[in-house]
């Protein structure tokens, strides 16, 4: 049976590996988008409900907190890195694949967008989902990973997918919360 330290290391490795995959996929997709649709700017219709279109997001989700101040990318990046550090600590203590992969996805997405803010002063968004003239704010792979990760965290919080119907979690020594 693995020790608590080995289990923590495996958990951290799994979550950070997913985070690295998210960052790599996000940055590769953004590199493609920068070459294919940002220079010169153009829209590519993929489906009747999906376009690839260039958008520079100088804020956070949905363009909130957008600003032309040269400090904004640094402040948003600093905040994202603090949150990421807290999530990594949480990940090291996590159990359950939903929680591990949810945290890994959020960490990877956050880092992917921080890379953009440091490189460009804004986040590269290019996925435009819409229904007729109703457009969802443009997003990228990092944003999708954050959204899916938060969904997994919420499912874990309400006990969906946990190994026990009662929501009991195993603690050190093999006991569950209900055993104590």
In a domain, residue 110? The reply is yes
Q: Could you confirm whether 156 is annotated as catalytic?
A: no
Q: Could you confirm whether 143 is annotated as catalytic?
A: yes
State the residue range of the domain holding 60.
4-162
* Annotated catalytic residue within 143, 177, 178, 179: 143
In a domain, residue 39? The reply is yes
Could you read off the pLDDT of 33-86 as tens digits, one per residue?
Answer: 999 999 889 999 999 999 999 999 987 765 655 666 777 778 889 999 999 999
Q: What phi and psi values does residue 121 have, to the nearest 5 degrees?
A: 80, 5
pLDDT band at residue 174 under the 50/70/90 scheme? low
In a domain, residue 108? The reply is yes
* Annotated catalytic residue within 116, 125, 128, 156: 125
In a domain, residue 11? The reply is yes
* Percent share of the chain, pLDDT over 70: 81
In a domain, residue 173? The reply is no
pLDDT at 73: 79
Q: In the predicted model, is pLDDT for residue 166 greater than 60?
A: no
Question: CA–CA distance from 128 to each of 64, 74, 92, 112 (Å)?
Answer: 17, 26, 35, 19
CB contact set of 9 (below 8 Å; sequence gap of 6+):
none
In a domain, residue 172? The reply is no
In a domain, residue 136? The reply is yes
Q: Which residues of 8-38 are buried (b: 16+ CB within 10 A; e: fewer)?
A: beebbebbbebbeebbebbbebbeebeeebb
Q: In the predicted model, is pLDDT for residue 165 greater than 60?
A: no
Please name every residue paired with 18 in a beta bridge, in sequence order, or none if there are none: none
Q: How many domains does the chain have?
A: 1
In a domain, residue 175? The reply is no
9: tokens are 């290391």
Q: Which of 38, 27, 58 is nearest to 142 (CA)?
A: 27
Could you tell me the pTM of the whole model? 0.81
On average, the pLDDT of the chain sits at 86
pLDDT at 168: 47
């Amino acid at each position: 049976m693995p020790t608590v330290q080995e289990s923590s290391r495996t958990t951290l490795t799994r979550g950070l590996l997913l985070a690295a995959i998210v960052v790599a996929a996000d940055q590769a997709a953004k590199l493609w988008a920068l070459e294919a649709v940002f220079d010169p700017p153009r829209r590519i219709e993929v489906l009747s409900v999906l376009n690839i279109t260039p958008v520079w997001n100088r804020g956070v989700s949905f363009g909130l907190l957008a600003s032309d101040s040269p400090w904004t990318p640094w402040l948003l990046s600093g905040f994202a890195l603090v949150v990421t550090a807290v999530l990594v600590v949480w990940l090291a203590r996590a159990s359950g694949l939903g929680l591990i992969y949810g945290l890994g996805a959020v960490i990877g997405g956050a880092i992917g967008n921080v890379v953009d803010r440091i490189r460009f002063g804004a986040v590269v968004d290019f996925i435009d989902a819409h229904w007729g003239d109703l457009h969802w704010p443009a997003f990228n792979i990092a944003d999708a990973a954050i959204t899916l990760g938060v969904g997994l965290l919420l499912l874990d919080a309400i006990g969906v997918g946990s190994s026990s119907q009662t929501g009991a979690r195993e603690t050190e020594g093999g006991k569950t919360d209900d055993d104590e």
